[in-house]
Amino acid sequence: MSAHDHGHHKETFITKYIFSLDHKMIAKQYLITGLIMGIIGVLMSVLFRMQIAWPEESFGIFKFLLGEKFAPGGVMRNDIYLALVTIHGTIMVFFVLTAGLSGTFSNLLIPLQIGARDMASGFMNMLSYWMFFISSVIMVGSLFVESGPASAGWTIYPPLSALPQAIPGSGLGMTLWLVSMAIFIASSLMGSLNYVVTVINLRTKGMTMTRLPLTIWAFFVTAIIGIVSFPVLLSAALLLIFDRSFGTSFYLSDIFISGEVLHYQGGSPVLFEHLFWFLGHPEVYIVLLPALGITSEIIATNSRKPIFGYRAMVASILAIAFLSTIVWGHHMFVSGMNPFLGSVFTFTTLLIAIPSAVKAFNYITTLWKGNLQLNPAMLFSIGLVSTFITGGLTGIILGDSTLDINVHDTYFVVAHFHLVMGISALYGFFAGVYHWFPKMFGRMMNKTQGYVHFWVTAVCAYGVFFPMHFIGMAGLPRRYYTNSAFPLFDDLADVNVLITVFAIIGAAFQIVFFWNFFYSMFYGKKATQNPWRSNTLEWTTPVEHIHGNWPGEIPEVHRWPYDYNKPGHDEDFVPQIVPMKEGEEQLHH
C-alpha cells in the first residue's frame, strides 16, 4: 500500500487523536498516559518518604491528598503507607517503565527505523493502547476504594494479598489491582506480538537484521521476553483470583487468622513466588533493555562515532534476554525453597554480570576519542551508563545467595534496583523524549531547561539512593512504616531525612521537564528534518507527520546505521540510505 492510498481516508478529530491507527499517534498517546502515571507514582514516593523521614507527623499535604480517612489529622495511616508503597511500585514498574517506555518508543521507532509504513496490525496496536488506558484508569480508580488500594507490596505475595482479614487493602482494592493487571498484560501482549511481527516482516529493502539500529534490536528482544513471561504472570494472577473468590487452595494452606481456621489446604505461597518472579525478573530487563537500546543510539549519534562493538552489543542483548528467564530464583533465596536451587540461581544470576559488563565497557569505548555533542539526551544517556554501573555492581552482592541472606528485603535492595532499573530506565526514557521530541512533535525542546533538569536529577538520584545502601547494610528492613519501634535504628534517622530531602528536591525539579515538554509541544522552536544529524531512517521522513511515513517510495537501505565520521566521506555522518561508494568497505565487519 502506498502513502497515496492513505490520503483518501477522511480524518476526523476522533480518528486522528483518539482511535488512531497511526503508530506515531499511538506512541504519543502512550507517552502522555505514561507521563501522567509517572506524576502519580513519583508523588506517592514523596509522600511515603516524608512519612519515613518524619514518622507519624502531621502534614497538611497528607490531609489534602489522602483525605481525613487515609490520613486522620494529617498523619498517614500505617496500612495506607503500605498501599502507597505498593501502588508506587506497580505504577512505576508496569505503567511508566513498561508501557510508557516500550509503548512510546517501540511504537514510534520500529516502523520509522526499519522503513515500514506502519505496524503490522494498526488495529491491534490501537487496541493495545486502549486496553492500557483502561487498565490505568482502573488502577488509579482503585485509589478511591473505601478500604484502600492494594497494599501487599507490588509483588502481591499471598496470603497477604488473598485475605482481606490480613490487611484492608486486600479487599476490593486488590480485586481492582488484579483486574487492572490482567487487562494490562493483554495490552502488553498485543503490543509485543505486533512489535515482533513488524520487525520480522516489514523491514525495508536492504535492512538486514545486522543493519538494524540497536534500538530496534532492544525493542525486538524486549517484546520476545514479554511474550514469554507475561502470560505466566497472568496465570499466576488468575489462580490468585480463584483462591480469593472461589475458595481454591493454589497458594494457601493451614491459615489461622482473626480467630478462625480457614479451610485452605495444600497450596503454597512459594508456588506464587515462582510464578510471579518468572515474569518479575525478566520484567527488570523488559524495563531496562529498551532504555539501553535508546542509549546506544543516542550515544553513537552524539559521539559522532560508530557504536563500539555492534555485534557484541547484539550478542549481549540476546545473552541478557536468555539469562533473564533463568534467574528468577534469586528473589527467593530465603523463601524456603530447596537450597540446591539457591546454588543454581546464584550461578545463573552472576553470569548476567558478564554481558552487562561488556555493554558498559562498549559504551565507555564509544565515548573515547569522539566529538561529544552534549545535548540533554546525551547527558541522560551518559547518566544512564553511570547509574547502570553503580546499581549493577551491587547486584553481585544480591545475586550471591550467601550475601543475600543478610541484605535480602533491606534498603540495600531498594537502593540497588532503583539505581539499576528505576533511575537507569527513567534516564533512558528522558533521553528518548529529548532526542525524539522533534520527530514526535515537529518542535525542539528547550536545551537549557533540559540541562537544568538533568543535573539536578542526577545529583538527587545519587543523593537519594547512594546513602540507602548503608542503611540497608545496617539491617533496616524495607516497607517499615516507621523505624521508631526499634531504638536499634535510631542512628539511621538523619540519613533518612537526608534521603527524603533529596527525593523532594528531585521530584520537584521534574516540573522543569513537564513545563519544557508541554510548552515546547506548542511553542518550541520548529524542528528541522534531521536536527541531530543522525543516520537512521526516521530522520528521512518529513517533519510534518503523514500516514505511511514517507511521501513516496520507502527508501532503500545500503549500510549499517553507525557510519559516523567514516573515512572517505565529507560529512561526519552517512545516512543509511546513502549507497556505498565504489570500493567503500563496511569497516565494522
How many Cα atoms are found within 13 Å in the side-chain-facing hemisphere of 192? 22
Residue number, 208 or 448, with CB nearest to another protein: 448
SS3 257: strand
Site for another protein in 454-513 (CB under 8 A): 455, 458-459, 462-463, 466-467, 469-471, 473-475, 477, 479-483, 485-488, 490-493, 495, 504-505, 508-509, 512
Tell me which of 28, 416, 559, 566 binds another protein, using CB under 8 A: 566
- The reply to whether 379 sits near another protein by the rule CB under 8 A is yes
Stretch that binds another protein, among 100-108, 227-235, 277-285, 369-377 (CB under 8 A): 369-377
- CA dist., res. 442 & res. 437, Å (int): 7
Burial of 485 (0-12, 13-18, 19+ CB in 10 A): exposed
Tell me which of 371, 514, 518, 551 binds another protein, using CB under 8 A: 371
- CA dist., res. 162 & res. 164, Å (int): 7
Site for another protein in 19-78 (CB under 8 A): 58-61, 64, 74, 77-78
CB of 512 to another protein, least distance (A): 6
Residues 282, 348 contacting (CB under 8 angstroms): no
Stretch that binds another protein, among 31-39, 113-121, 186-194, 260-268 (CB under 8 A): 260-268
Residue where the block lists cell 508496569:
94
- The reply to whether 368 sits near another protein by the rule CB under 8 A is yes
Stretch that binds another protein, among 29-37, 122-130, 400-408, 418-426 (CB under 8 A): 400-408
Site for another protein in 510-549 (CB under 8 A): 512, 524-525, 531-532
Size of interface with another protein, in residues (CB under 8 A): 152
Stretch that binds another protein, among 198-206, 208-216, 257-265, 550-558 (CB under 8 A): 257-265
Tell me the per-residue interface mask from 107 to 146 with another protein, x by CB under 8 A, - otherwise: ----------------------------------------
- The reply to whether 441 sits near another protein by the rule CB under 8 A is no
Stretch that binds another protein, among 8-16, 163-171, 279-287, 539-547 (CB under 8 A): 163-171
Site for another protein in 264-323 (CB under 8 A): 264-270, 303-312
**E strand or H helix that includes residue 132:** helix 122-141
Burial of 12 (0-12, 13-18, 19+ CB in 10 A): exposed
Stretch that binds another protein, among 24-32, 190-198, 228-236, 249-257 (CB under 8 A): 249-257
SS3 159: coil
Residue number, 479 or 545, with CB nearest to another protein: 479
C-alpha cell, 40? 502519580
- The reply to whether 559 sits near another protein by the rule CB under 8 A is no
CA 141 to chain centroid, in Å, comes to 22
Residue number, 140 or 162, with CB nearest to another protein: 162
Residue number, 324 or 394, with CB nearest to another protein: 394
Strands 260-261 and 256-257: antiparallel
Residue number, 125 or 536, with CB nearest to another protein: 536
CB of 576 to another protein, least distance (A): 15
* Dihedral in degrees, nearest 10, Cα atoms 209, 211, 215, 217: 20
Residue number, 259 or 552, with CB nearest to another protein: 259
CB of 195 to another protein, least distance (A): 27
CA distances from 422 to 370, 395, 464 (A): 28, 14, 12
Residue number, 487 or 583, with CB nearest to another protein: 487
Residues 362, 334 contacting (CB under 8 angstroms): no
CB of 10 to another protein, least distance (A): 35
- CA dist., res. 9 & res. 20, Å (int): 12
Tell me which of 135, 136, 410, 549 binds another protein, using CB under 8 A: 410
Stretch that binds another protein, among 37-45, 115-123, 129-137, 380-388 (CB under 8 A): 380-388
Angle between helices 376-393 and 269-303 (to 10 degrees): 140
Stretch that binds another protein, among 190-198, 223-231, 288-296, 328-336 (CB under 8 A): 328-336
Q: Which residues of 145-175 are buried (b: 16+ CB within 10 A; e: fewer)?
A: bebbbbbbbbbbbbbbbbbbebbbbbbbbbb
Tell me which of 179, 253, 442, 578 binds another protein, using CB under 8 A: 253
- The reply to whether 252 sits near another protein by the rule CB under 8 A is yes
CA 195 to chain centroid, in Å, comes to 17
Residue number, 228 or 358, with CB nearest to another protein: 358
- CA dist., res. 169 & res. 232, Å (int): 24
Residue where the block lists cell 545475586:
399
Residues 550, 541 contacting (CB under 8 angstroms): yes
CA distances from 73 to 48, 144, 461 (A): 16, 19, 32
Site for another protein in 172-231 (CB under 8 A): none
- CA dist., res. 267 & res. 334, Å (int): 19
